[in-house]
Structure 1
Amino acid sequence: MNAALPGEFNVYNTLGVLTVCVAMGMPLTKAAEALRSAKGIKGRIEVVQTNTPFTVYIDYSHTPDSLVNIGRALRGIAKGRIITVFGCGGDRDRTKRPLMAKAAEAFSDYFILTSDNPRTEDPQRIIDDAYAGVKGTTVPHEVLVDRRQAIAHALAKAGPGDTVLIAGKGHETYQILATGKIHFDEREVVHELLGETEK
């Protein structure tokens, strides 16, 4: 059976869905066909349709485990380099920040540490907390506080066959700053930066 979503963790999710469908009386072939035609969930290993020779994914991975899982999934299908944009949320568990950076470093060929939803915290302090997990790394990287700038940098770095992962916000269409919530839809941002209209 071919599932629409890549990654080992999605194999387990798919098997769970099939099991429930069969337990509820749906024929296995019908359940499998429905899963084959599934479009996926917005913000979960979502492909942004672009006119580029590289692939852009948006994913809600905002914990160390979820970053590891998405990294494994992408490493299994990526043809070129994996360029990762990620950050950590403000007013949340500070102990996971260095673990997030370590997780991104583990599968990325290039990573950009940036802001996520800083909320009431200083974005640079959040980044400093995360960076402690990769101090001395040999993986090429950049630190850019402005998330839009970080995405622009990732897109500019990407070449044919590369994979750009924009992690952390997924389905969210906003960013939470100390001054309040602002509109920030990463799909729109990608298309604007590439000079394309959204598909």
Structure 2
Amino acid sequence: MSNALKAVTVFCGSRFGTDPAYEQAAVEVGRTLAEQGITLVYGGGRVGLMGTVADAALAAGGEVVGVIPQSLDEREVAHQGLSELHVVETMHERKAIMAERADAFVALPGGMGTLEEIAEQWTWTQLGLHAKRSAFYDIGGFWRPLAELVEFMVERGFLLREHADLVRFGDDFPALLDGLAAPLDPQRKEYDAPTA
């Protein structure tokens, strides 16, 4: 089913983290996307998991599109071997291009930037600004605390179940990819602002 996806944006850390499984997962993600003919869209860096996922996709013959703001070009060291590299002025421009170019979004382990970027895309789906799915590739339970927080938000009445279900958590990347390719229910309830 995942061949319905033409491009997937991957958000991930510019560091490797403490568990070698994170880097192995980045290799798997890059290679799998390339093997399935899915373009990788990512943050454009050549360091940490960012560089690993890009290098794995390129090594497997895949197309890789990087988007990096000028301010991070030196810190994240822009990857010069990509199919396309866009150096932009702002983070807002970076995220807009990454959102526009992708059919779905995946988060590998990362820090606040990774979390903020995928949370924004999930929110945009909830608001009906686009109809693209998001997923957290949960390597070694990295995203488990967030999954528990999402359930707590539902329990406490701040997040509708159907909005929580717009995002997926899992440790099986091919299964996550298939889930990302599934079309959203056209009758789904979009964000409904509470009245005073």
Q: Please, what TM-score do these two structures have when normalized by structure 2?
A: 0.32
Larger Rg: 1
More helix by proportion, 1 or 2? 2
